[in-house]
Homo-oligomer: A and B are copies of this chain.
Amino acid sequence: MTTFSVTVLGSSSAIPTLTRNLSAHLLNVNERLFLIDCAEGTQMQIRRYHIHFQRIRSIFISHLHGDHYFGLIGLLTSFHLLGRKDELHLYGPPMLEEIIDIQLKASQTKLLYPLKIHPVFDDSYRQIYEDDFLTVNAFPLLHSVPTVGFIFREKKRERKLRKEILGRIPVPIKEMTKIKKGEDFIDATGKIYKNDLLTTDPPKQRSYAYCSDTSYNEFIIPFIQHCDLLYHEATFMQDMIAAARDKLHATAQEAATIAKKANVKKLLLGHFSARYDDLDPLLQEAKTIFPETYLAEDGKVFNI
């Protein structure tokens, strides 16, 4: 099984605490690294958790509140100072480019590596990234500034060949590709071998949804439905619902309700208000609605 894991680099909202950094998650898909949000201190967290950070290929920024991106310029600069040559792709709100540019200009820095900035708009569900293994779609969240969620989905993989059967049939190499795609095989005599005799189902496509800052919003359900791991912010508990509404954040109970309605496999709570020293009450509140809930604590790794 190839790697598909999420490392939590920060779990605090608004201000950092002594034990919780601000938002950033690292997604490892088959040893390709994707950084999602990049608050102040993220480069220190990457170092602390021994992540080989030059392997990060793409960075996704959900919105331009500081607790989600103030560490970006420091990370981009460190890549440069450490001699990075590989292209880096950055996906985020349109204003991000201007903010980066002015800071590079002020320090008279010309990055040694190509930085490709892709503006992400918050007006619809749309694909923003694709490679051999993965697609990423963005979709609007309900927050006080333009904010998007992201869903990372493995692509459909090829069917697995049943070598014990294929070893006994004279299949030309060039036919193998078609068989892996699900086609039947017809041999020189015209005999048909049904594909499900020759192959088994491919590994399941795994998926990870990241919903950073959002009020309770059922409109996102179609976009995250059935995903393996849903990260959903839970800034407050339900007794602070008024504060949550006011600041366009969600409660643990609301996050769990979304998880349940979207039929996801597991829920990860994060973006906790600094008022909570002990996070267990938030976990218990969510679990009454959605038992498969976990806390996004700094340094934790979730294998999907």
- Which A positions have Cβ atoms within 8 angstroms of B? 14-18, 21, 40-41, 43-44, 47-48, 64-67, 70-71, 73-74, 77-78, 81-82, 93, 95-96, 98-99, 102-103, 105-108, 144-145
Q: A70-B73, A102-B98, A102-B102 are in contact. Are A107 and B16 (CB under 8 A)?
A: no
CA distance A17 to B82 in the complex (A): 13
How far does the alpha carbon of A16 sit from the alpha carbon of B96 in the complex, in Å?
24
CB neighbours of A66 from chain B (8 A): 73-74, 77, 103, 107
A40-B71, A66-B74 given; A16·B47 CB < 8 A: yes
Bound together, the chains give a CA A162 to CA B77 distance in angstroms of: 59
Known contacts A73-B66, A106-B95: A16-B40 contact under CB 8 Å: no
> Once the chains bind, are A103 and B108 in contact (CB under 8 Å)?
no
Inter-chain contact B81/A15, CB cutoff 8 Å: yes
- Rounded to whole Å, the gap between the CB of A52 and the closest CB of chain B is 15
The residue in chain B whose Cβ has the minimal distance to the Cβ of A16 is B44
Q: Are B74 and A70 in contact (CB under 8 A)?
A: yes
Question: Which residues in B have their C-beta under 8 angstroms from that of A47?
Answer: 16-18
A22 to chain B, nearest CB (A): 8
- Nearest chain B residue, comparing its CB with the CB of A101: B102
Name the contact of A78 in the complex, choosing from B15, B21, B71, B96 (C-beta under 8 A).
B15
Q: Given contacts A40-B71, A40-B74, A95-B106, list 7 more A-B pairs with CB under 8 A.
A: A15-B82, A16-B43, A21-B44, A40-B41, A98-B102, A99-B106, A106-B145
Closest chain-B Cβ to A32's Cβ sits at a distance in Å of: 23
Question: Inside 8 A of A96's CB, which chain B residues have their CB?
Answer: 106
Least distance between A43 CB and chain B CB atoms (Å) = 7
| Bound: A108/B143 CA distance, A | 12
Question: How far, in whole Å, are A77 and B39 apart by their CA atoms in the complex?
Answer: 13
What residues on B are CB-neighbors of A81 within 8 Å?
14-15
Contacting pair B107 A64 (CB below 8 A): yes
Q: Could you tell me if B145 and A108 are in contact, using CB atoms closer than 8 angstroms?
A: yes
Question: Is B145 a contact partner of A107 (Cβ separation < 8 A)?
Answer: yes
A43 vs B108: C-alpha distance in the bound complex, in angstroms? 25
Cα distance, A67 to B106, chains bound together (Å): 13
Q: List, in ascending order, chain B residues with CB within 8 A of A71's CB.
A: 40
* Complex A-B: 8 CB contacts under 8 Å: A14-B78, A40-B40, A40-B43, A40-B71, A64-B107, A65-B107, A95-B105, A108-B144
